[in-house]
Amino acid sequence: MKKIWVLILREWKNFFHTPFAVIIIPLYLILCGTYFYARLDQYMNMTNPNETVQKIAGLNVTIHLLTPFSKDLINVLTFIIPLLTMRSFSEEKKMGTYDLLVSYPLRPGEILLGKYLGSVSLVLFLLGISFIFPAVIFWKGEPYLPQILSTYLGYVLFIFFYVAVGVVGSLFTENQIVAAIISYGVFFAAIVIQWLAYISGAPWDRIFSNFLLVAHLDSFRSGLIFVGDITAYLCVTSLFLLWGYLKLKQHFSQ
Amino acid sequence: MIQIQNLNHHYGRFHALRNINITIPQGSIAGFIGPNGAGKSTLLKILAGFLTPSSGEVFIDDISLSQHPIEARKKIGYMPETPYLYREMRVSEYLDFIGSLKGLSASVRKKEKENLIVKCGLEKIHRKLIGKLSKGNRQRVTLAQALLGNSTVILLDEPTSAMDPAQVIEIRNFIKSLKGSATVLMSSHILSEVSQICDYIIFIRDGQIQHQGATQSVAELSGKTSEVRVCFSNMEESWIDLLKALPGGEFLERTGCVLRMRIHDENSFFPCLFQLIVEKRLPLREIVSGENQLEALFQSEVRS
């Protein structure tokens, strides 16, 4: 566990010691801020006194402002996460430090978890920053806290999954761009399978529709937590981590 | 001790290492020589745990590398040919990080780090960013990380390739000082370096071991003996008898103030020669080395 912690700290130091943090954090904040401003503006237009009374009566700050913003947030995370995870193993391979890393007395699981949890914690840090937007609404309005928390729980699970895709993808190449493309590719493949769900009949439509893991976030956004959704994320995350573990284990046994 | 038994390695269809069997005695310094593409780096990478052999077994101090990879790795210190380091870290911070990965406690880490900073000549650069160091200095840092954790088996891939002459002498002396305390396996293209430092030689070609054994016995396989020319500013007849009597050497001829000698045993010849020069205050101008036995062997093997 101590060695995993050392690797997590290294990921953090590496992130903040390189110009990467200077690019990623402002980019993330600009994108989130822009989306939030657009959603807030839309909401303010809806609450305009000139609008019809019926329309105003049904307005809810959680449903009409924070839920649309949370959908934007997942798009931003989908864009940002591969940029963060593409470096984890690819950079080590390109610099040559990967050779040394696997020569130290570290178990393959320790190396993988150190890298994975390092990236997960960085993305959770970014997600944490985004909490500033609901916090602003708390200051001026009365959003429904359990729904916001269930949304964030879904996002944490999504981050577990998507970071696993990125970190394991970076194990297969020393080119960081290729590593990022692998992550985007997995996400795009899931969307293609979702399209297949629309054009195929039963029972394939239900099977295919489960492949788009972003779709599982809908229930979390509605404030509903289903064991099936949690299991789906944890299963796919474990599957990718197992793949990465087997890849790393090649250095340790015949 | 390093024991390699029936080791084979394939890169796809290419048979890179063929039935390698090596036993390097505990505490000895072994030199690993061979032409480019012979399989030296592949074998070092297998010993370091980066590559898994296609078949065969490696034992590090009697611990199987495939059965107990973590225990075996604890005993290994690996210095790759190119100094691969985290460029954004400072030298001291990097050694601390590697010490943590090797599982050293904070107090042991601090003590070993301070010790290695002095031994590897990193005093002036230990606060500097690795990315700003010269290649030679980065190579010293790579050597320091290999020695961290009291490794008993040290693998050095071309350890002095990017260093300046002063650094090379320092590092060679340092490697020599490891004799007895650690088993060292170093690959090098500098054959004079290998014959100076190593007491055991492994010659590899086309993925197969051609010769292995004590340095002197392998060198003698060339069928040649080393020669030196000892040049003095002036020469007295009485000195020639003294020089002829030196152990490990054989007088061949005298041309003016230059003596040509054949060396049978470097380890006894040179210390006695230098002792004689100092005691009798002989006006030595230079000692010119002739063809190295190991170089002759290398040439004949490569040509064949």
pLDDT band per the 50, 70, 90 thresholds, residue A101: confident
Q: How many CA atoms lie within 13 A of A138 on its CB side?
A: 9
Tell me the percentage of chain B whose pLDDT exceeds 90: 4
Which chain B residues have a beta carbon less than 8 Å from that of A251? 49-52
Which chain A residues have a beta carbon less than 8 Å from that of B54? 254
pLDDT band per the 50, 70, 90 thresholds, residue A46: confident
Buried-exposed string B187-209: b where 16+ CB fall within 10 A, e elsewhere: bbebbebbbebbbbbbbbbebeb
Distances in Å between the Cα of B47 and the Cα atoms of B23, B153, B184, B189 are 13, 10, 12, 19
B219-244 tens-digit pLDDT: 666 556 677 888 888 888 888 888 88
How wide is the angle at C-alpha A182 spanned by C-alphas A150 and A204, nearest 5°? 65
Give the alpha-carbon dihedral of A221, A225, A227, A231, to 10 degrees: 30
The span from the CA of B21 to the CA of A197, in Å, is 59
Q: How many CB atoms lie within 10 A of CB B242?
A: 14
Q: Which tokens sit at B144?
A: 């320091």
User: Rounded mean pLDDT of A169-175?
Assistant: 88
Q: Answer whether A103 touches B (CB < 8 Å).
A: yes
Burial group, residue B154, by CB count within 10 angstroms (0-12, 13-18, 19+): buried
Whether A202 shows a pLDDT value over 60: the answer reads: yes
Burial group, residue A199, by CB count within 10 angstroms (0-12, 13-18, 19+): exposed
Strand partners, B57: B5
pLDDT for the residue B300 = 67
Picking from A6, A103, A250, the nearest residue to B48 by CB comes out as A103
Q: Which carries the bigger pLDDT value, residue A157 or residue A20?
A: A157
Shortest distance, CA B127 to any CA of chain A (angstroms)? 16
Distances in Å between the Cα of A30 and the Cα atoms of A39, A43, A64, A245, B164 are 14, 20, 21, 36, 50
pLDDT for the residue A210 = 67
Distances in Å between the Cα of B269 and the Cα atoms of A189, B204, B215, B273 are 74, 29, 16, 6
pLDDT for the residue A124 = 93
Q: Where does residue B26 fall: left (phi above 0), alpha (psi -120 to 50 degrees), or beta otherwise?
A: beta
Whether residue B84 and residue A100 make contact (CB cut-off 8 A), yes or no, is: yes
The span from the CA of B140 to the CA of B125, in Å, is 10
Among A100, A247, A251, A252, the strongest candidate for a mutation testing the B interface, having the largest count of B CBs within 10 A, is A100
A2-42 tens-digit pLDDT: 889 999 998 898 888 878 888 888 998 999 999 888 888 88
Phi, psi of A183, deg, nearest 5 = -65, -50
The span from the CA of B71 to the CA of B66, in Å, is 10
Whether residue B70 and residue A251 make contact (CB cut-off 8 A), yes or no, is: no
Residue A22 contacts by C-beta under 8 Å, 6 or more apart in sequence? none
User: Rounded mean pLDDT of B5-34?
Assistant: 87
Q: Answer whether A54 touches B (CB < 8 Å).
A: no
Peptide bond into A203 cis (omega under 30): yes
pLDDT band per the 50, 70, 90 thresholds, residue A238: very high
Picking from A6, A102, A254, the nearest residue to B49 by CB comes out as A102
Among A97-111, A189-203, B77-91, B134-148, the range scoring the smallest mean pLDDT is A189-203
Which chain A residues have a beta carbon less than 8 Å from that of B64? none
> Smallest Cα–Cα separation from B47: which of B176, B214, B185?
B185
pLDDT for the residue A211 = 65
DSSP string for residues in B78-121: EE-SS----TTSBHHHHHHHHHHHTT--HHHHHHHHHHHHHHTT
User: Rounded mean pLDDT of B19-28?
Assistant: 88
> Smallest Cα–Cα separation from B167: which of B147, B130, B138?
B138
- Touching B: A residues 4-33, CB under 8 Å: 6-7, 10, 13-14, 17-18
Domain ranges across chain A? 2-253
Residue B4, SS3?
Answer: strand
User: Rounded mean pLDDT of B2-11?
Assistant: 88
pLDDT for the residue A117 = 95
Picking from B55, B71, B101, the nearest residue to A106 by CB comes out as B101
DSSP string for residues in A161-197: HHHHHHHHHHTT-S-HHHHHHHHHHHHHHHHHHHHHH
Residue B60 contacts by C-beta under 8 Å, 6 or more apart in sequence? B1, B2, B47, B72, B75, B76, B153
Whether A70 shows a pLDDT value over 90: the answer reads: no
Whether residue B74 and residue A105 make contact (CB cut-off 8 A), yes or no, is: yes
* Whether B102 contacts A105, CB under 8 Å: yes
Tell me the percentage of chain A whose pLDDT exceeds 70: 91
The span from the CA of B219 to the CA of B83, in Å, is 31
pLDDT for the residue A134 = 83
Shortest distance, CA B296 to any CA of chain A (angstroms)? 34
Q: How many CB atoms lie within 10 A of CB B119?
A: 17
Whether A164 shows a pLDDT value over 90: the answer reads: yes
Taking the model in full, what pTM does it have? 0.78
CA A155 to centroid of chain Cα atoms: 6
Whether residue A103 and residue B55 make contact (CB cut-off 8 A), yes or no, is: no
User: Rounded mean pLDDT of A135-155?
Assistant: 84
- Touching A: B residues 54-113, CB under 8 Å: 54-55, 66, 69-71, 73-74, 76, 78, 80, 82, 84-89, 97-98, 100-103
Whether residue A14 and residue B97 make contact (CB cut-off 8 A), yes or no, is: no
Whether residue A252 and residue B52 make contact (CB cut-off 8 A), yes or no, is: yes
The span from the CA of A33 to the CA of A18, in Å, is 24
Phi, psi of B270, deg, nearest 5 = -65, -45
pLDDT for the residue A119 = 92
Q: Answer whether B171 touches A (CB < 8 Å).
A: no
Residue A200 contacts by C-beta under 8 Å, 6 or more apart in sequence? A208
The span from the CA of A214 to the CA of A231, in Å, is 14
Whether B11 shows a pLDDT value over 60: the answer reads: yes
Picking from A3, A97, A251, the nearest residue to B52 by CB comes out as A251
User: Rounded mean pLDDT of A127-148?
Assistant: 84
pLDDT for the residue B294 = 67
Picking from A6, A18, A251, the nearest residue to B97 by CB comes out as A6
Burial group, residue A35, by CB count within 10 angstroms (0-12, 13-18, 19+): buried
The span from the CA of B286 to the CA of A73, in Å, is 77
For chain A, what is the mean pLDDT? 83
Whether residue B73 and residue A17 make contact (CB cut-off 8 A), yes or no, is: no
Tell me the percentage of chain A whose pLDDT exceeds 90: 20
Which chain B residues have a beta carbon less than 8 Å from that of A13? 88-89
User: Rounded mean pLDDT of B284-303?
Assistant: 70
pLDDT for the residue A156 = 93
Residue A147 contacts by C-beta under 8 Å, 6 or more apart in sequence? A62, A66, A67, A221, A222, A223
The span from the CA of B174 to the CA of B159, in Å, is 11
pLDDT band per the 50, 70, 90 thresholds, residue A111: very high
